[in-house]
Structure 1
Amino acid sequence: MPNPEAGFRRAWQGLEELEQSKKPRRIFRVIFFASARVPETDPTYAEYKELGIELGKLRIDGVTGGGPGLMTAFNEGIVEGWKGNPWSHGVCIKQINRDEPPNAFLKQAYYHRLILTRLHQFVRLGFWGAVVVADKAGYGSDLEKALFHQLIQFDQLQVPLIGIGRMWQERKAWEKKWIVDRGLADPDDLDIMQCVPKAMDALPIILEAHARFKAAIAA
């Protein structure tokens, strides 16, 4: 009788070997994590759309979870700023408990049934770029932030991780009290996420990372 656990072990080993043998294509992309539950009437919608517009003008790819809310704002901004042939990606999850179609501003939509495979694709797409987490973010965005935080911590990624707004400033204070100050992480680990007040404050950090990327490509 086949052993399912042995099959899983072989699959995981194969995935690890694939990761080691072939790195993702060298394309700078901004990965944007945010809540699907923020309406277009919310003031932050326009802020994240503006960030997308500025990145689109620079022909920088944008990646979201492909859903509504602030994800739509960012994808819409990428499309509006880029014009012509925008690279606006959505890494979508097939919802179990609610009908949530992809937003209308995706050039490329990827579909996943499993959260784990979706997270893996976010990492592949963001390998050479930057990661932005909005100030209105739920459990999904928190999970995604934690994944990138640990990959950077273990030096498996070298990308900026940017948290926008008071939410992440308070989260860092919580992490300092309950994790770093108790000796459960190094003080430097707390600095992995750079916190800024507003969406557009993330732009200089992204552009600095983009400049480093272009210099490395040219070298």
Structure 2
Amino acid sequence: MRSKFKGPVVQRRDQVDGSTTDQRLLDSRGDSGWLHTDPWRVMRIQAEFVEGFGALAELGPAIAVFGSARTPVDHPSYAAAEELGRRLAEAGFAVITGGGPGAMEAANKGASEAGGVSVGLGIELPFETGLNDWSDVGINFRYFFARKTMFVKYSQGFAVLPGGVGTLDELFEAMTLVQTRKVTSFPIVLIGTDYWRGLVDWLRDTVAAEGKIAVEDLDMLTLTDDLDEVVALMQAARDADAGEASER
């Protein structure tokens, strides 16, 4: 059955429309009617922030886990994501994903089955149909920027599994926030040395070599296959945050 989520609303069968809310917001082509409707969109955007803040305000320490929605169930990355979700939950973290299938589903599953808080932050897309079944707390967003705010505000670190364009977008946004000091004590861990090494080499040998970033900027990234190391880094960041809070 054909279905689609638009924020908290589900459309099915012939009620499924052919565009997304983000698309209509950003598309300025055509007549000038959008000039009179954009101010009202602010109310919908505000509502998304209110819903997100209300649902996650008491979440506690959490880690965002990113990875491809196209990861098959029998792929090693799926198993790694599921195990990571379990270990993070056992270490006292909530696990936040994009709420989709693949690696996101696996991380949510691992956290949920371990008795942890498993959060899915979905997004309206024309080719996905809502949150995976392991998202015990789920919010569907219309706007990418509102959703991204929730990831950053309520996560103490990013664990990044192999993924595509969406995963790269999330990775580089996290790097930008750390580089510009918009966030502090925010570990970014790339899981899968074979998959990510080429990207890290390019950042060092091309981007940093040409002076587009500082070599020290690469220190914000940890590249590993060791899930124990991932959890230890997240715990260290949590402990550092707790120590700074007690001194204030």
Pick the TM interval, shorter chain. 0.7 to 0.9
Q: Does 1:186 align with 2:214?
A: yes
Q: Does 1:104 align with 2:130?
A: no
Give 1:214 deviation, angstroms. 3.1
Give 1:74 deviation, angstroms. 0.6
- Tell me the residue number matched to 1:42: 75
The separation in 1 between residues aligned to 2:240 and 2:57, in whole angstroms, is: 16
The separation in 1 between residues aligned to 2:118 and 2:241, in whole angstroms, is: 19
**Equivalent residue for 2:108, pick from 75, 100, 103:** 75
Mapping of residues 148-167 of structure 1, within 5 Å: 148-158=174-184, 159-165=186-192, 166-167=194-195
Consecutive unaligned residues of structure 1, counting only runs of 5 or more, are: none
**Which consecutive aligned stretches of 4+ in structure 1 deviate over 6 angstroms post-superposition?**
none
8 Å CA contact 2:61–2:92 kept in 1: the answer is no
Give 1:196 deviation, angstroms. 0.9
| One-letter amino acid matched to 1:125 | Y
Where 2:204 maps in the other structure, the secondary structure is helix
- Tell me the residue number matched to 1:95: 125
Where 1:51 maps in the other structure, the secondary structure is helix
1:54-95 residue CA offsets vs partner (Å, 9 max, x unmatched): 1112321110000111111111111111x2xx3211110111
Mapping of residues 180-219 of structure 1, within 5 Å: 180-219=208-247
The separation in 2 between residues aligned to 1:116 and 1:25, in whole angstroms, is: 18
**Equivalent residue for 1:115, pick from 130, 144, 155:** 144
The sequence identity of aligned pairs, in percent, is: 23
Where 1:74 maps in the other structure, the secondary structure is helix
The separation in 1 between residues aligned to 2:165 and 2:33, in whole angstroms, is: 36
8 Å CA contact 1:47–1:200 kept in 2: the answer is no
The separation in 2 between residues aligned to 1:177 and 1:87, in whole angstroms, is: 40
Give 1:200 deviation, angstroms. 3.9
The separation in 2 between residues aligned to 1:89 and 1:201, in whole angstroms, is: 23
Where 1:63 maps in the other structure, the secondary structure is strand
The separation in 2 between residues aligned to 1:93 and 1:99, in whole angstroms, is: 9
TM-score normalized with structure 1 length: 0.81
Give 1:115 deviation, angstroms. 2.1
How much is the aligned-residue C-alpha RMSD, in angstroms? 2.6
Give 1:130 deviation, angstroms. 1.1
8 Å CA contact 1:28–1:213 kept in 2: the answer is no
Call closer, same or farther: CA 1:188–1:173 in 2, change over 3 Å.
same
The separation in 2 between residues aligned to 1:33 and 1:214, in whole angstroms, is: 25
1:8-66 residue CA offsets vs partner (Å, 9 max, x unmatched): 8xx7xxx9xx9xxx9x9583210011001111111222222111111112321110000
Give 1:3 deviation, angstroms. 10
The separation in 2 between residues aligned to 1:4 and 1:178, in whole angstroms, is: 43
The separation in 2 between residues aligned to 1:44 and 1:111, in whole angstroms, is: 25
| One-letter amino acid matched to 2:70 | R
The separation in 1 between residues aligned to 2:223 and 2:106, in whole angstroms, is: 21
